[in-house]
Amino acid sequence: MKRILFVCTGNTCRSPMAEALFRARVKAAGSEWEVRSAGVAAYDGQPASPQAVEVMEEYGITHDHQASRVNSELINWADVILTMTGSHKSLVVNYFPDAQSKVYTLMEFVGVEGLGDIADPFGGSVEEYRRCAQELDHLLDRLWAQLEKGEQKR
């Protein structure tokens, strides 16, 4: 597994932040992982929300993001697809049933018990985006540690 696709709704908040945060880890480690993001209801070409851009800049990350809608090309490209919610996972599996074995919620994949959903900060304050980014950062630390140990799912 060398390609990860993060998926949310509009691909302007959660999944672009996850992509940017994970890509920063990959770059810092000199790793060969590839990472992209998409949305189940995205409008191709939309920029990341201004709050997401601001919060990523606070992390020292500049991410010139343009939204992409989940499509068969991205599904086939990915080795693993990590969604922000259980609903996103269900939608991806419903539209791309052959991908079922590689689709997980991010929380499920890293072994976090509970609701399994990362709250959508869309339309919220910068502080809500910061909280979302902090949650993602914590989960991505777990993901990175898991991948570094070679503990990959099925």
The CATH number given to whatever domain includes residue 71 is 3.40.50.2300
Domain-embedded: residue 120: yes
DSSP assignment of the chain, as one string? --EEEEEESSSSSHHHHHHHHHHHHHHHHT---EEEEEETT--TTPBPPHHHHHHHHHTT-----B--B--HHHHHH-SEEEESSHHHHHHHHHH-GGGGGGEEEHHHHHT--S---PPP-TT--HHHHHHHHHHHHHHHHHHHHHHHTT----
> Is residue 56 domain-resident?
yes
Given the residues 13, 14, 36, 132, the one annotated as active site: 14
- For residue 102, being part of any structural domain is answered with yes
> Which residue among the candidates 79, 117, 120, 137 is catalytic per the annotation?
120
Higher pLDDT, 114 or 93: 93
Q: Taking the model in full, what pTM does it have? A: 0.95
Domains of the chain: total:
1
pLDDT single digits (tens) 94-142: 999 999 999 999 999 999 987 679 999 999 999 999 999 999 999 999 9
Establish if 71 belongs to a structural domain: yes
Does any domain span residue 154? no
116: in domain = yes
Query: 8 catalytic, yes or no?
Result: yes
